[in-house]
Amino acid sequence: MALAEAAAARGRVLPWPRVVLFGDSITEFSFQEGGWGASLAGRLVRKCDVVNRGFSGYNTRWAKLILPRLIGKSAAAESTVAVTIFFGANDSALKDVNPKQHVPLEEYAANLTSMVHYLKSVDITEDRIILITPPPLQESAWEKECLAKGDKLNRRNATTGEYAQACVRVARDCGTDVLDLWTLMQKDQDFSCYLSDGLHLSMEGNNFLVGQLWSHLEKRLSALPSLLPYWRDVDPQNPEVSLL
């Protein structure tokens, strides 16, 4: 059968669900080797695409402006089974040291709320949205990174915690799910093992995040069927019967 005939027989492109990861550098880097995004994609092969929409250095002020350019009211939105919104590590930068990335706490919360409302306006309901708080900051390690660039320490863990708490409040008020990474990572042990440079995730941190995130996603995604038949189930004499 020619491809044009096969397309006509099929009628339309096979709908393929997707999870969108929207965030800053911790999301952008999530498809590196051992990254949490790559691990999530591995769990969802042939069930769901995992789409990386991470933007290093971005804060919520910038994120809310670009979100409508990334997700609109379309078939792609209809097929979106989950969206993570993972910002705060840059918003919480200290204003006097890093004013370019800093976003005041109240504006940060308002920006998160605005993004949730936008997603709902394009028919992505609150039960498909997961807010993720920034992870804790290991100040001594991050200060070394700053000093190596000729800068002063530009973040504080206590300040990051205020932004994490605001993120949790927004999720509660908007009715979305939330993964409070800042609190969870500091619960049982020295959290520095979760961070590669005091701010970004180490291999252990990536593993921790994907495990926690999967506990939020598993109920809604584990039941997704594998798309297209297993190869042993394809009739080699009449593959059209199995595949179209």
**pLDDT value at 183 more than 90:** yes
Domain 17-226 = CATH 3.40.710.10: no
DSSP the chain: --HHHHHHHH-SPPP--EEEEEESHHHHGGGSTT-HHHHHHHHTTTT-EEEEEE-TT--HHHHHHHHHHHS-SSHHHHTEEEEEEE--TTTTS-TTT-TTT---HHHHHHHHHHHHHHHHHTT--GGGEEEEPPPP--HHHHHHHHHHTT------HHHHHHHHHHHHHHHHHHT-EEE-HHHHTTSSS-GGGGBSSSSSB-HHHHHHHHHHHHHHHHHHHTTPPPSS--GGGS-SS-HHHHH-
Q: What is the pLDDT of residue 15?
A: 81
> Averaging pLDDT over each range in 83-87, 184-188, 232-236, which range is the top one?
83-87
How high does pLDDT run on average in the chain?
92
User: Residues 204-239: pLDDT tens digits?
Assistant: 999 999 999 999 999 888 788 888 888 899 988 889
**C-alpha dihedral over 160, 187, 81, 83, to 10 degrees?**
10
Average pLDDT over residues 26-36: 97
Average pLDDT over residues 111-116: 98
Average pLDDT over residues 18-44: 97
Task: Please give the share of the chain, as a percent, with pLDDT higher than 90.
Answer: 79
Task: Please give the share of the chain, as a percent, with pLDDT higher than 70.
Answer: 94
**pLDDT value at 67 more than 90:** yes
Q: What is the pLDDT of residue 115?
A: 98
> Averaging pLDDT over each range in 23-32, 146-155, 182-191, 225-234, which range is the top one?
23-32
* Cα–Cα dist 50/213, whole Å: 13
Q: How confident is the model at residue 11 (pLDDT cuts 50, 70, 90)?
A: low
Give the residue numbers marked as catalytic: 25, 197, 200
Q: What is the pLDDT of residue 14?
A: 81
Least confident of 4-8, 34-38, 164-168, 237-241: 4-8
Contact present, 195 and 133 (Cβ < 8 Å):
no
Average pLDDT over residues 147-166: 95
Average pLDDT over residues 4-15: 64
